[in-house]
Amino acid sequence: MGNDNATRKQEQLEHLAHVNALRLAIASAISAIEKNDLTRLETHLATQETICNRLSATKCTSLLTASGIAAVTDDADGASLLLEIRHAHLALAQLNRVYASLLERVRRSLELMAALYRSHGEGYDRSPSPLLQGHTWSCEV
């Protein structure tokens, strides 16, 4: 039973570390977007994908259910760790909302710029002006 609790606590600590790393990667990606640094953004997106894959592969999500919480409620240290994990998830959810909002604004801005570039020059005849065609330059001394 002691080994099972130690394993559970280790899984929870790893899960907490992954959630915090994901929060850091998202905050860094937001910063990269603000600075128009595409290379850093791509790096942080790859990091986010890796962390998400690790999080989906862990068994810790079952420990955050009601039965998992009930299993560690007698352990004050375990309960505080679960509370810390919960707060990390809430902070991650808030950061995710900010990130999604930023990406939506970026998408709209890019669509507006693309529309502007597509329509630039439409309605104008690209042939030279008739005034310039009949005009010659000369200099009299």
CA–CA gap between residue 139 and residue 76 (Å, rounded): 96
Q: How far is the first Cα of the chain from the last one, in angstroms, to the nearest whole number?
A: 108
Cβ atoms of 68 and 62 closer than 8 Å: yes
Domains of the chain: which residue ranges? 2-112
Cβ atoms of 43 and 29 closer than 8 Å: no
Query: pTM of the full predicted structure?
Result: 0.69
Give the angle 129-131-134 at the CA atoms, nearest 5°. 110
Class in CATH terms, 2-112: mainly alpha
Question: How does pLDDT run across 13-49, given as a tens digit for each residue?
Answer: 999 999 999 999 999 999 999 998 999 999 999 999 9
Distances (CA, A) of 84 to 43, 80, 88, 96: 28, 6, 6, 18
CA–CA gap between residue 28 and residue 16 (Å, rounded): 18
The helix/strand/coil state of 51 is: helix
Of residues 135 and 11, more confidence is placed in 11
Question: How does pLDDT run across 86-104, given as a tens digit for each residue?
Answer: 999 999 999 999 999 999 9
* CA nearest to 81, candidates 94, 101, 64: 64
Cβ atoms of 32 and 20 closer than 8 Å: no
CA–CA gap between residue 99 and residue 41 (Å, rounded): 12
Question: How does pLDDT run across 60-90, given as a tens digit for each residue?
Answer: 655 555 555 555 555 667 788 999 999 999 9
